[in-house]
Amino acid sequence: MASLNHPGDLKYSKTDEWVRVEGDEVVIGITDYAQDQLGDIVYVELPWESGENIAFEGKFGDIESVKATSELMSPLSGDVIGSNEELKEHPEYINDYPYEKGWMVRLKLSDPSQLDNLLNADQYLEYLQGR
């Protein structure tokens, strides 16, 4: 756990997504802890078409590692502005750069108050240690 990186300027969900707030938009990916647990990511399915509405705690994609396939759950609701097309060819970015080149979707928030439910880095780390 100590070697994992959870930047202080991001928000986190208990389902292991990180959120970077940029005005009324957010960028979402999965945390360093999540990618470490999943192991080598081999495939990711994201909402490739813009405009799709993602529900609060709704599914926004699937992620497959050498161990298992999991659903990606959104900690926020909003409309998809874009998804990281580079992950089609380079799913390993999620392992190697979870907070930069491994970002997944950009949403336009439909309810910014949902951000209040998210954890900060210290709270997330504490949550992980209690798991």
Partner 1 sequence: MSVESLIFEKGAPGRRAATMPAMDVPTELLEDLIPASLLREKPAALPEVSEIEVVRHYTHLSQRNFGVETGFYPLGSCTMKYNPKINEDMAALPGFAHIHPLQPVQDAQGAIQLMFELERYLAEISSMTRVTLQPSAGAHGELTGLMLIKAYHQSKGQGHRNLVLIPDNAHGTNPASATLADYKAVEVQSDDTTGGIDMGHLKTLLEAHGDHVAAIMLTNPNTLGLFDANIAEIGRQIHAVGGQLYYDGANANAVLGITRPGDMGFDVVHFNLHKTCSTPHGGGGPGAGPIGVKAHLVPFLPGPLPAKNAEGYYWEDAGPQSIGKVRANLGNFGGLVRAYTYIRSNGPDGLRHVSESAILNANYLRQGLSSDYEIAYPHICQHEFVATARKQKEEHGVTATDIAKRLLDYGMYAPTVYFPLIVPEAMMIEPTETETRESLDSFISVMKTIAEEARTNPEIVKTAPHTTVIGRLDQALAARKPNLRWNPGQEVTHS
Q: Which residues bind partner 1 (CB under 8 A)?
A: 37, 40-43, 64, 66-68, 91-92
CB of 57 to partner 1, least distance (A): 14
Cα distances (Å, whole numbers) of residue 72 to 2, 23, 126: 25, 23, 22
**Closest CB to partner 1 among 50 and 69?**
69
**Closest CB to partner 1 among 3 and 113?**
3
Q: How many residues does the chain have?
A: 131
CB of 87 to partner 1, least distance (A): 11
**Closest CB to partner 1 among 96 and 126?**
96
CA–CA gap between residue 96 and residue 113 (Å, rounded): 31
CB of 40 to partner 1, least distance (A): 3
In sign, the C-alpha dihedral spanning 109, 21, 11, 106 is positive
CB of 109 to partner 1, least distance (A): 28
User: Other CB atoms closer than 10 Å to residue 126's CB: what's the count?
Assistant: 11
